[in-house]
């Protein structure tokens, strides 16, 4: 059983349509990441797709993510637990750290190869999430 920390999540009943819309939002970012040729854009949209996919998955448990410091860490951790996949924690947090370094630390260098690997990974995770959300 997944534990949802009240500091990061609140109870909210989501309709099937809301869960679907949340997931479609993740797929929209994934599509942008696939189409764009700029490595930084590909990376940023891949990360956003991972977080939004996590939000969709969490919403299927009737939990809303609170926008508080550390909520991306909790989203990644929760997705890892629901999917029973430790790589989500490792790779998701590596992506989060890179994103934070880019955002707050003066920028980072993302290679095309690195951006493609992250994109392929997130694509696979969203497919796993989609299988769990098929009932919606």
Q: Domain ranges for the chain, please list them.
A: 15-133
Contact 63, 10 (CB under 8 A): yes
Q: Using the structure block, give the residue that is written with the tokens 């951790």.
A: 77
Q: What is the rounded distance in angstroms from the CA atom of residue 135 to the CA atom of residue 130? A: 9
- At 106 the pLDDT is 84
pLDDT score at 108: 85
Hey, what CATH class is 15-133 in?
A: mainly alpha
Distance from C-alpha of 122 to C-alpha of 110, rounded to nearest angstrom: 16
* 20 pLDDT more than 80: yes
pLDDT digits (tens, 9 = 90+) for 31-46: 999 999 999 999 999 9
Tell me: pLDDT of 59 over 80.
yes
Q: What is the C-alpha separation between 79 and 84, in angstroms, rounded?
A: 8
Q: Are 22 and 55 in contact (CB under 8 A)?
A: yes
Identify the CA nearest to 82 among candidates 13, 1, 15.
1
Q: What is the pLDDT of residues 76-130, one digit of tens each?
A: 999 999 999 999 999 999 999 999 888 888 888 899 999 999 999 999 999 999 9
């Amino acid at each position: 059983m997944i534990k949802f920390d009240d500091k990061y999540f609140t109870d909210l009943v989501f309709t099937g349509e809301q869960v679907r819309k949340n997931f479609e939002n993740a797929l929209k970012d994934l599509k942008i990441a696939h189409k764009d040729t700029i490595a930084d854009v590909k990376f940023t949209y891949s990360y956003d797709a991972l977080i939004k996919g996590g939000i969709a998955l969490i919403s299927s448990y009737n939990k809303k993510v609170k926008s508080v410091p550390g909520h991306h860490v909790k989203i990644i951790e929760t997705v890892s637990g629901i999917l029973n996949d430790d790589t989500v924690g490792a790779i998701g947090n590596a992506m989060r750290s890179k994103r934070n370094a880019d955002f707050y630390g003066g920028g980072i260098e993302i290679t095309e190869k690195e951006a493609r690997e992250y994109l392929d990974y997130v694509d696979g995770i969203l497919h796993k999430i989609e299988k769990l959300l098929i009932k919606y």
